[in-house]
Structure 1
Amino acid sequence: MAFAILLLAGLAGSGCSVLPGSGAAVAELPPLRLANGVVTLDDVPALAPSPELTALTEPMRAFVARYAPRTLAPRQRLNSLHEAIKGPGMLAVGYDPFADGDAETVFDSGAANCLSYAHLFVALAREAGLNASYQWLEVRPQWTRLGERVAVSLHVNVLVKVSAGEQYMVDIDPLQPRDIAASRKLGDRDARALQHNNLAMAALAGAEPEVAWANAIRALQLSPDLPELWVNLAAVYRHAEQFSAAENALFQALKIDSGERSAMNNLVVLYSQLGREGEREFWVERVNRHRDLNPYYHAWLGDKAGEEEDWTTALDHYRQALKLEPKNSRLLYSTGIIHFRLAQYDAAERLVERAIATATLRPDILDYQVQLAAVRRRQLADTH
């Protein structure tokens, strides 16, 4: 199990355009029709009640008072709280991908996934007087050798601001910095929506379609402008063979974010299932075009070439990635490393310097500085 606090030099934000009327679209959604009855919007409150995810109990308040008293400076409070939550002999919270729940549940059980851990840390950090919020991370996508994209992963952690210009990322199952494709801050309402989304997908897997639909609807009532929630609602409708409703939900996701990859992929699956070959081919082409415009696809091709030690081909792919996203510090750094492998030290130095200038995570900056020193040593050795 790995925990982490990472210092951020700045927050790299990304997001999708907000479509007016998404909330109205939720109110017009058709009921779920099952063999044993119909589930309507009126049934949602009973089937999908919204818990208070960051509510505190007296033992939780006592825990904060003991381990993160306000007499400590903010950074000390943060570090002390983090150590107390993860430390053996203290709270000792462990990672469990299936451990959904609110802050109180995690505090009592000692098990959490990324979202439920975020509920706990946000609750305790705020009690300690820290400025804590949820953060959504998009994991860098991967592709198969045939160029088919593997499903994108999404990850939630906590952002804590301790002073002007100094903020930290807290995580129970931290991603490698190079695997983070994008990030954005989430409000508490969005976090509640994601909790309902998790419950919806668990219920769908557990053959409880009515509970799945109700939680998917409740998620959208809370955050109608998160396109990923529309994609998951479409999955519930498709499971119930309400194909028109599934199609409409996927198009709603694309109205919010025209580049929503999962929506496009799901349209391919839906039209394949329905035998609508012309529409399937249209969306296959859209998926491929979107893939070709994704810098991480070209970086992935570069990585594959690098695995074969074909550094010239790897450089071509990374140059294409940089054309698409020229200020991405990780792409700049990786391209610099390829130049280093090719003994092109001046180019390597320039790119690693640019990576340092654009990086936001302090560990990245330190790693890049170490590599820059290695490049300069090799440059110096080659001139003598």
Structure 2
Amino acid sequence: MKFLATITPRLAAVLLVPLLLSACAAVQLPAPMPSTELFADAKFKPASEPVGAAGLFDLSPAMRQYVHSPAFAAHVRSKGAQHGLVDALYQKGELKLEYESSKTRTAAETFEARAGNCLSLVIMTAAFARELGLPVQYQNVMVEQTWSRSGNLYFGSNHVNLTLGEKLTEFLRTYQTSSTTLTIDFLRPKEAERFHTHPLEEQDIVAMYMNNRAAEALAQDRIDDAYWWAREAVRTNPRYITGYNTLAVIYQRRGDNALAERVFVTALQREPENTVVMHNMIQVLASLGKDGESKALKARLAAIEPFPPFYYFNQGIKAMEKADYELARTLFAKEVKRAPFYHEFHFWLAIAHWRLGEGKRAQDELKLAMDTSTTSSSTQRYSAKLSQLRSGATIRVRAH
């Protein structure tokens, strides 16, 4: 099992970006190893697509036409630039922008698709704000990391929001931090207000974008493309530790454990208790025959994080395989409690309820799985399962 810090699908109530553990650091960190010593260009084929952040915030002709349209101008006149922008983009009006987590898009791609994950929506909003001359401040919100998976890759995510300024609209579930600040956030106001924030530079957002593209390519087994995206993330922002972790996982997948170790060591020099990096490095050390170092790091990790992400879920799957549905229900419920916005946990809790003859509770959990899914394919799948359950048909499931 591999933990990869990157963007991951989640309920549209959260803006998802890679782990930013460095934002919590309170000590002077050593400078990272020169990035050229961590790259291995000769081991990878050229990328099959353009790699980089060129044009990330650029407005397409269609975007310029929209932002200078009479309808948009009316929004700005009646509500001001900040509220007018938010109103025009995110209320269910002519644009009908939707949350969709399958790909991290540029501003122009998000506008064209009328959909995007939260990082894409932040980038597009910033692009429009820039066109209107509005100041933008990105913020890392100090919430607990959330996790999901794709195959045997596990993805961790944190939360960012975007500050434009001025009073907030309830529609976007935003909250007022001052009389001149408008913070766009998809957490509920009472939840958002209690979390501390840390300012981010645009360079951080750019690195997140490229790291996300690397992770998405890796999930599709496009390892060469993943390498070039991760390389660019590290090169662009050498202090962005998540990029190092992704780069090392790519080396690990390519079978170059020695190089993966070098990158993990570099990351741990800056964040000695980064549990994501530690977990990945344990496997690399074992693969290199460094059993003593691997066991020592494993013990250290267990002291920091005794129940890692998906721990209860994996135990629950084992219980399901043994037909111990009561234990499975208990274990899945524990994962739901600590990750209430991850659809797969709700789905398997529904199956456990169904196996125990608890039809109503199974339907409720399946509905939550559908509501918290973030791709159209998963929503359709859960909707079909819910229809089967309501009709009394047999539900067939398998763990991935």
TM-score normalised by structure 2 residue count = 0.58
Match of 2:118 among 110, 114, 122: 114
Superposed CA offset, 1:144-192 (max 9, x none): xxxxxx9642233322234977433314577983798764322222222
Superposed CA offset, 1:288-319 (max 9, x none): 33348xxxxxxxxxxxxxxx9xxxxxxxxxxx
Asked if the contact 2:162–2:184 (Cα under 8 Å) also holds between the matched residues in 1, the reply is yes
1:270 CA displacement: 2.2
Match of 2:35 among 18, 21, 26: 26
Asked if the contact 1:32–1:210 (Cα under 8 Å) also holds between the matched residues in 2, the reply is no
CA distance in 1, matches of 2:209, 2:159: 12
Which structure has more relative contact order (CA 8 Å, sep 6+)? It is: 2
* Secondary structure of the corresponding residue to residue 300 of structure 2: helix
Residue in structure 1 matched with residue 300 of structure 2 by the alignment: 286
What letter corresponds to residue 128 of structure 1 in structure 2? L
Asked if the contact 1:130–1:162 (Cα under 8 Å) also holds between the matched residues in 2, the reply is no
* CA separation of 1:161 and 1:18: change in aligned 2, threshold 3 A: farther
1:221 CA displacement: 0.7
1:87 and 2:87 aligned: no
Which structure has the bigger radius of gyration? 1
What letter corresponds to residue 39 of structure 1 in structure 2? F
Asked if the contact 2:144–2:158 (Cα under 8 Å) also holds between the matched residues in 1, the reply is no
1:4 CA displacement: 8.9
Asked if the contact 2:63–2:111 (Cα under 8 Å) also holds between the matched residues in 1, the reply is yes
CA distance in 2, matches of 1:234, 1:179: 36
Counterparts of 1:1-384 in structure 2 under 5 Å? 14-16=23-25, 19=29, 21-22=31-32, 25-31=34-40, 38-39=43-44, 48-65=51-68, 66-67=71-72, 72=77, 76-141=80-145, 152-162=156-166, 166-171=180-185, 177=191, 183-291=197-305
Q: How many residues align?
A: 273
1:69 CA displacement: 7.0
Residue in structure 2 matched with residue 369 of structure 1 by the alignment: none
Identity of paired residues, percent? 24
* CA separation of 1:173 and 1:52: change in aligned 2, threshold 3 A: farther
CA distance in 2, matches of 1:190, 1:18: 19
Asked if the contact 1:14–1:182 (Cα under 8 Å) also holds between the matched residues in 2, the reply is no
1:194 CA displacement: 1.3
CA distance in 2, matches of 1:277, 1:93: 51
* Secondary structure of the corresponding residue to residue 130 of structure 1: coil
* CA separation of 1:174 and 1:96: change in aligned 2, threshold 3 A: farther
Greater mean alpha carbon deviation, residues 47-56 or residues 248-257: 47-56
What letter corresponds to residue 109 of structure 1 in structure 2? A
* CA separation of 1:110 and 1:141: change in aligned 2, threshold 3 A: closer
CA distance in 1, matches of 2:54, 2:217: 17
CA distance in 1, matches of 2:289, 2:252: 14
RMSD: 3.7
What letter corresponds to residue 86 of structure 2 in structure 1? H
Asked if the contact 1:158–1:170 (Cα under 8 Å) also holds between the matched residues in 2, the reply is yes
1:107 CA displacement: 1.0
Greater mean alpha carbon deviation, residues 238-247 or residues 266-275: 266-275
CA distance in 1, matches of 2:199, 2:300: 29
Asked if the contact 2:258–2:288 (Cα under 8 Å) also holds between the matched residues in 1, the reply is no
Residue in structure 1 matched with residue 351 of structure 2 by the alignment: none
* CA separation of 1:56 and 1:276: change in aligned 2, threshold 3 A: same
Gapped runs of 5+ residues in structure 2?
Answer: 1-10, 16-21, 148-153, 168-177, 307-329, 331-400
